[in-house]
Amino acid sequence: MIYAVFCGFYSDWYAVGYFNNRVDADKYCTVCGNDEYYVREIKNLENTVDLSKVTLKYEYCVTFDFRDNKWIMRNESGEYVCYNSTELKPNRVSSYGSNLSYTELKPNRVIFQINIEENNRKKAEKIAQDYLYKLLSCRDGINIYEEDVELMDDEFIRPFKIKEKLRQQEELRKKELAELKRLKEKYEE
């Protein structure tokens, strides 16, 4: 059991920290909390579930904005979404906000969803930068066009679509073989 110190109420609250014993948590609230801190017991979940077979993957969102005639990566925290899978999800790219240039849409924000096997934001940012440079090299080296973003996103998901189609075909083939086996056994009786 740990003893978490919180501040705030309803939807406006945050965790201040935690202690391994209740007395120290209460003392901290008394000394530092100005009657706004409170303690809640939190159960330790270690060893309550077998996690040995969980294979974590990490998805990071890396955003670039077009400002002052250049692409700037946002300085975001190490936030990520993790998921349990033996395979990575496809990387994705999308764009938002557009400047009309004659007949083409030029977005002013590009967002990459980067899926990797480790909790490493710097690695995800490097991958996203490589993709950004690839997009920039499609045309004039400074502008990114919606059409190119869509083509890159299609390129990201194409192998996953092919794999899913093959899986579905294999599943159908197994069902057909099972039905043929059933019919064969029925007519051999």
Rounded distance, CA 125 to CA 112, Å? 9
Residue 170 covered by a domain: no
User: Do 122 and 80 touch, CB atoms closer than 8 A?
Assistant: no
pTM of this prediction exceeds 0.95:
no
Q: Are residues 146 and 63 in the same domain?
A: yes
Q: Are residues 34 and 64 in the same domain?
A: no
Rounded distance, CA 70 to CA 148, Å? 18
The share of the chain scoring above pLDDT 90, in percent, equals: 65
Residue 100 covered by a domain: yes
Q: Are residues 78 and 10 in the same domain?
A: no
pLDDT, tens digit, 9 for 90 and up, residues 124-150:
999 999 999 999 999 888 888 889 999
The count of domains in the chain is 2
Domain coverage including residue 84: 56-163
Residue 183 covered by a domain: no
